[in-house]
Amino acid sequence: QVRLVESGGGLVQPGGSLRLSCAASGSISSINTMAWYRQAPGKQRELVAATASGGNTVYADSVKGRFTITRDNAKNTVYLQMNSLKPEDTAVYCCNADIRSRRGGSVYVTSTYWGQGTQVTVSS
């Protein structure tokens, strides 16, 4: 069974930094896109950043220049380095990944998986 487990959230003052991690585990054959989403209270979930297996990245306009997404393919892990944090960055951050995994025998399936989420609070 494939799982995504996030870590690194917490409380930080405006202008501070946090680094989120999301590790995938299970019968993984390959991972395509890995991404971070966030959802603030009363708002819709939004894409923060994404990275493809080849290294291409995309960012929400609101985080460009402040956040950096990276991945370690050997560890099946994606990171989100968040700098110059603002109160409006407060949200639950979830990682997402498109993973090809072995279901049994020679059967492989590609599915989208989500982590459980980690709270990021930016406040003085």
Position 102 scores a pLDDT of: 87
Give the whole-angstrom CA distance, residue 77 versus residue 109: 20
Give the whole-angstrom CA distance, residue 101 versus residue 20: 24
Q: What amino acid occupies position 55? A: G
Q: What is the pLDDT of residues 46-93, one digit of tens each?
A: 999 999 998 899 999 999 999 999 999 999 999 999 999 999 999 999
CA-based R_g, the chain, Å: 15
Q: What is the mean pLDDT of residues 5-29?
A: 96
DSSP 87: G
Tokens encoding 102: 């072995």
Q: What amino acid occupies position 71? A: R
What percentage of the chain has pLDDT greater than the value 90? 90
Give the whole-angstrom CA distance, residue 37 versus residue 99: 17
What distance, in Å, lies between the first and last C-alpha atoms of the chain?
A: 40
Position 106 scores a pLDDT of: 85
